[in-house]
Amino acid sequence: IKVTLSGGEEVPPVQTAGSGLAEFSYDRETRTLKWTINCSGLSGPATMAHLHGPASRGEKGGVAIWLSKQGSTVESPVNGQVILTPEQAEQFVAGRWYVNIHTQANPGGEIRGQAMFPGQ
C-alpha cells in the first residue's frame, strides 16, 4: 500500500511545503504490518509519526500505532513493524487509519494521508 502524505489532508488543512510517502506491507494471516516512510520539506524536524484511527478522510482519530520510536527524534526514512490486534487489523484493512507526521510548528500534524488498500 502506498500512501501520499500532504498538508492538505490534515484536519484542518496545513499550508506546508512538506510531503511524504508511506509504504506498507501487510500479512493478513499473521497480522504483521511493516512500513517505510519518507518525508521532506517539513517546517522542521518531524517530532512524531503515527497511524491514527479509526477515522475516515476528513475525520480525526486517536493514536493507534506509533510509527516512530516514542520519545526519539524522527529520521527519514522511518522503518518498523508491528503485529496488529484483530480489532486493529479490521480497522486497517477497512481503510479507517491514517498516517500523520507531526512537527514542532504543527503539533497536531503537518502532513497526513489515509491508508487505503487499492480499490477502496
Q: What span, in angstroms and rounded, lies between the C-alpha atoms of 60 and 70?
A: 20
Q: What's the full length of the chain, in residues?
A: 120
DSSP string, 73-113: ---SSEEEEEEPPHHHHHHHHTT-EEEEEEESS-TT-SEEE
Answer for the pair 74, 49: CB distance below 8 angstroms, yes or no. Answer: yes
> Which of the 8 DSSP states describes residue 7?
G
Half-sphere exposure of 93 (CA within 13 A, CB side): 13
Q: What is the pLDDT along the chain (120 residues), one digit of tens a residue?
A: 999 999 999 999 999 999 999 999 999 999 999 999 999 999 999 999 999 999 999 999 999 999 998 888 888 899 999 999 999 999 999 999 999 999 999 999 999 999 998 765
